[in-house]
Amino acid sequence: MPNTSRHSDPSGVNDGPAAGAAAGTSHHGAVAVDPPLAAAAATDVVGLGRARAFAFVAPALLLIGVFLLFPALWTLYIGATDYERTGPKHVSPSFVGVGNYTDVLADPSFYNSLWLSLLFVGFSAVIGQNGLGFALAWSLRNVAGWVRRTVETLVLFAWILPGSVVAFLWIAMLDRDGGTVNALLGTPGLAWFVDYPMASLIIFNIWRGTAFSLMLYGAALSSVPPSQLETARLAGASGLQTLRDVVFPHIRGHALTNTLLITLWTFNDFTPFLLTAGGPGDDSEIVSVYVYNTAIRDGRLGYSGAISLLILVANVVLALLYLRMLRKRSVS
């Protein structure tokens, strides 16, 4: 849930959605077996029995059902009421149908947050993390071991540290008076989070999240057959030509997968709240912060439920696209 996918898996084995990739390509049956055996492999191996198997799955399903599936579905209902956090409408909310949705869709502050989220996702994830991640993976692939390891470790640390800590580190970096950035750029007194809140968040998020793209592209590039790269070199292709003609066709699927995932995570990221809390005013109130501010700060639960549902729908679209990508790749 929160941050689970965003602030991903330090084991590097894989992370929520990446686990899907693994599932898609998993290798059944390590031992060579007769064809009928492959069919048998799906039946009960230890004689657990179906009843016990269900009992095994039940606890996990119960937790997922109550704390993940139900809240998602409940959003539908909450969004159709005028539920509030306190007051009479907390005790007995009334059903307002699609009222909240029409309100949300007519609310300029919703469009403001949507626009800011698009900026945030577009510049920090799709362009920033994607681009920097690929550039680093490409340029580091033939570099001496220790340089590569150092850069990779630095990038990874930015990714694995707790959100509260990295947020604070950036508050320190960008501080108006004593911040390192102002000292380096010779711009004393510049209040980054006040004057350029979105730019600050975007730079921050590039710093924070490039690690995933770097690792994914690193893995993708190692899947390009060296013989093809060598053929291109023998043919006298320039670096850019090699990228276009040899490398890109191989990693197109990875690039799309990566873009979908980081889009999904960045869109749902809540860390910007720790940096600007949406301010000043609503200048950096991206959708995730907007939901928090309307729901928990202002207490307008019904109204924010409607926004939540819109987020869920966007997530479902992104996730379905991602799963289709996976399926395609495991087929081919």
Judged by CB, which is closer to another protein: 126, or 314?
A: 314
Nearest distance from C-beta of residue 258 to another protein, angstroms: 9
Minimum distance of another protein from residue 81's CB (angstroms): 10
Q: How far, in Å, CA of 234 to CA of 36, rounded?
A: 48
- Closer residue to another protein in complex, CB, 165/194: 165
Collapse the DSSP code of 77 into the 3-class scheme (helix H, G, I; strand E, B; otherwise coil) and give the result.
helix
| Smallest separation, CB 167 to another protein (Å) | 8
Give whichever of 125 and 173 is closer to another protein, judged by the CB atom: 173
Of residues 43 and 227, the one with the C-beta less far from another protein: 43
Q: Could you tell me which of 210, 198, 213 has the C-alpha nearest to residue 158?
A: 210
Number of Cβ atoms within 10 Å of the Cβ of 116: 23
Rg (CA), the chain: 24
Estimate the crossing angle of helix 248-268 against helix 16-24, to 10 degrees. 150
- CA dist 205 and 203 (Å) reads 6
Number of CB atoms found within 10 A of residue 191's CB = 16
Closer of 127 and 316 to another protein (Cβ): 316
Dist CA 243 CA 138 (whole Å): 9
Rounded CA separation 296/37 (Å): 56
Q: Considering beta carbons, is residue 228 or 315 the nearer one to another protein?
A: 315
Instruction: Give which of 13, 11, 37 is closest to 26, Cα–Cα.
Output: 13
Nearer to another protein, 56 or 248 (CB): 56
Torsion from C-alpha of 258, 263, 264, 269, nearest 10 degrees = 120
Task: Tell me how far, at minimum, the Cβ of 222 lies from another protein, in Å.
Answer: 9
Nearer to another protein, 126 or 132 (CB): 132
DSSP state of 280: S
Report the nearest approach of another protein to the CB of residue 203 (Å): 9
Q: Tell me how far, at minimum, the Cβ of 20 lies from another protein, in Å.
A: 5
Is 239 in a helix, a strand, or coil?
helix
Residue 325 CA: distances (Å) to CA of 125, 254, 308: 19, 9, 26
Cα dihedral 191, 195, 199, 205, rounded to 10, equals 40
Task: Give the single-character DSSP code of 25.
Answer: T
Q: Indicate the length of the chain as a whole number.
A: 332
User: Nearest approach, Cβ of 244 to another protein (angstroms)?
Assistant: 19
Q: How far is the CB of 291 from another protein (least distance, A)?
A: 6
Q: In whole angstroms, give the CA distance from residue 149 to residue 157.
A: 12
Min. distance of Cβ 280 from another protein in angstroms? Answer: 15
In the complex with another protein, the residue whose CB is nearer, 96 or 173, is 173
